[in-house]
Structures are given as C-alpha cells and as structure tokens.
Amino acid sequence: MKAPKNQNILIYTALPKAKRLKVYIPFLMKAERECFKKLDSSYYHPQQNLWSLINTVENLKKIESLFGSKLLQVGESAPRGMPKIDLNRQGEAELEKTHQKMVLKGFSKNTVDNYKSSLKPFFKYFENQSLKSVTKEQIEGYVFELISKYKISESAQNTIINAIKCYYEHTLGLPREYYNITRPKKSQDLPNVLHINEVKKIINSPSNLKHKTILHTIYGAGLRVGELIRLRVVDIRSEEGYIFIKDSKGKKDRHTVLSKHLLELLREYYKIYKPAYWLFEGQTGGQYSSTSIQSIYRKAVKDTNGNPWSTPHTLRHSFATHLMERGTSLRHIQAALGHNSSKTTEIYTRVLAINNKTIKSPLDNMYESVSLDENKTTS
C-alpha cells in the first residue's frame, strides 16, 4: 500500500482477533513519527515499514486524537513482512566475513546490525549464483522487488543499498564506484524549528535542576542527544570558552560554543550533583539514557503547551536557525554542529523567518509606486 499523494497516515482495519493496530506513517512525516514513537506500546515493524500499538479502544482513540484529519482508515490488510531467512553455509560465511570487515573498520554497532539484517535476504536471493557475478541490473531488480512486494521505505532502501555496496567494496574489494546503484531521490524536507520564546519556556520548565541543565545544554551548544549523554566533566572547557565533543557522528571530535549563562548553570548543577566522570549520570552512576532525555523533553513540552511535534533534536535545529538569524557566519555554525559539508548547514537558510515583516513583496512596491504616481497627477 503506497501512501496517497497528500501524505495521509494510514491505519489498517484490525481483524477481529488482531493483537496490534498497524499504522503507516510516510517517510516525510518525521515529526508525526517521533510523536507516535512516544506512545506506550509503540513498536516499529521494519520488514513491513509499519508502526503499531496494542489493539485497544483507548489506543485507537489516541491515534485518532494525535493525527486528526491526517489519518485515513483503510480496509485492506497491512503489507506482508519479509519472511525469516535461513542462509546456507556459503551465505553465513559471507555474512561473517562482512561482519569482521565492518568491525575492523570501526563501524558503529547499529550500522553493523542494520547491514547484516539487510544482507541476509540479499544473500538468500542470490544463493544459487556466485555473488561476484551478480550485476548492477540484477541488484536493482532485487531492490525493485522488495519495494513492490514489501513496500519498503526510502530509508530502508538506502540502508539495503549501503549494505550491498559495503559487501562488494569492503568484503570483496571491488572498486568503490563499481556498483553505482540507483537510489531514491533524497527528500528536501525542512527541519522543525521553534521560536526563541517557545524554546525559553521549554528549557526553563523543569523544576529539577538536572533536567533543566540538560535541556539548556542541548539548545545552548546545539548538541545531538547522543553527544549530550557522552559528555564528560572534563569536556567543559570553561577557561577556553568551549565544549569538547568527542566521537560525534562520523567519529569526529569538535568544539562547540560554551554559553556564559550555561556555564553558570553547569557550575550550580555540579555543586549539587557532583558528577564523577559523565557530566550527566544516571541513578546508578553510568551514562544518562536517551529515553530519559526524551521523557524530560516531552514533559516540558506538555507543561508549556509547546509544539507537540517537536523533539529534543528540534532544540539543535533551533540553535542553528537562531544563530543564522543573528548573522552568525555559516562556517561557524557548520563547525559548531559538526557538519562535514556546508551544504548540510545551508538547509537552515531555508527556514529563516519569511514573512511581510522581514521581506517586502514587489507587489507592495508596485502598488505603492502606482499610488504615489496617482497622487502626483492629482496634485
């Protein structure tokens, strides 16, 4: 089932004894997807590209209330999930070789797991053929079949292609450009950004000092949630005026700005909580969890009646946009965010305030000019 052009969220009519309600959320609806993830019992079925909740009347009402007019009920059964894969010895051996290569190259655990899951059905599909002899056209035919049969998402399609390229380029050592496989067109959706007054309300909402400091740090330094939970006490370089981010996305180190206001708040927090190693420790002394940060943010948004579609990452988007609105150079923003390319940072230029207070339409100029000319004529 493909989503309609107007990007409806689909809820499939549950069979009488169905245990879960199945929901399809289009790839471009990132904010809606994040909100659904926060619901109790939410679960993602990667092989079907569907989300679900336990099948109860209360949960159905929650879904209807959350998505409103965007929700479209369909009577057709949900798309089939991919069957369980059992590889032969050769397939298992190739999978293990690829696993070793990825570990040696320092791929993250999530990447390793995702690539292995994507390669298993690929190896099964071509188990009666030498994998070295598989052509680009055959690979594209395989991906097309997955899209047609299992309705895989654009992100899943890209993961499959990346996994296949990893196998051919790293495991088999073929040239990097040898398998230039066709990809889906990259979406150009805009990041969700909050007004600065709304940010102020949200980050000041928690009465708990640790929770308040966490939200201030995400926004004040433009951090990803993963970067925040990996911050160490020694990473706050108060004398030099920056925060050191170690092993951020892509395993790159970087510096980001240390706000004077945030430094005062961090000192107050440190005196009370006295963290030993990690800047923000959990109850048992280890790293703070990302789920706890999500909960802190959700409560702050709810308490301030903020944008329900926003997430902690929205604070990072807002950090970048607010810097750009104040005229901070693109290069400095790029460095603070840790982007490889300035093109990634340039997306924030597309969300700058565009309205009749910041830009004057030529239509207004035209009519104002005509009005002045008429006044001259009559006088």
> Catalytic annotation on 45?
no
| Spatial separation of the C-alpha atoms in residues 285 and 274, rounded to whole Å | 11
Task: Please write down the long-range contacts of 206-211, taking CB distance under 8 Å and 24 or more positions apart.
Answer: 206/296, 206/299, 206/300, 209/268, 209/269, 209/272, 209/273, 210/269, 210/273, 210/280, 211/296, 211/300
Q: Which of 62, 97, 99, 249 is catalytic?
A: 249
> Catalytic annotation on 313?
yes
Q: Which of 120, 254, 316, 317 is catalytic?
A: 316
| Spatial separation of the C-alpha atoms in residues 64 and 288, rounded to whole Å | 33
Q: Which of 38, 99, 116, 313 is catalytic?
A: 313
Please state whether beta strands 242-245 and 236-237 pair in parallel, antiparallel, or not at all (unpaired).
Answer: antiparallel
Residue appearing with tokens 């959320």:
25
Q: Which of 22, 224, 230, 322 is catalytic?
A: 224
339-to-128, 226, 247, 252 alpha-carbon distances in Å: 43, 15, 13, 10
Rg of the chain (C-alpha set): 25
In degrees rounded to 5, what are phi and psi of residue 175? -55, 145
> Catalytic annotation on 170?
no
End-to-end CA gap in the chain: 68
Nearest to 199 by CA among 89, 306, 93: 306
106-to-101, 109, 337 alpha-carbon distances in Å: 9, 9, 22
> Catalytic annotation on 37?
no
> Catalytic annotation on 348?
yes
Give the SS3 label for residue 183.
coil
Q: Is 321 left (phi over 0), alpha (psi -120 to 50) or beta?
A: alpha
> Catalytic annotation on 339?
yes
Q: What is the DSSP string of 72-96?
A: EEE-SPPPPPPPP----HHHHHHHH
List the catalytic residues: 224, 249, 313, 316, 339, 348
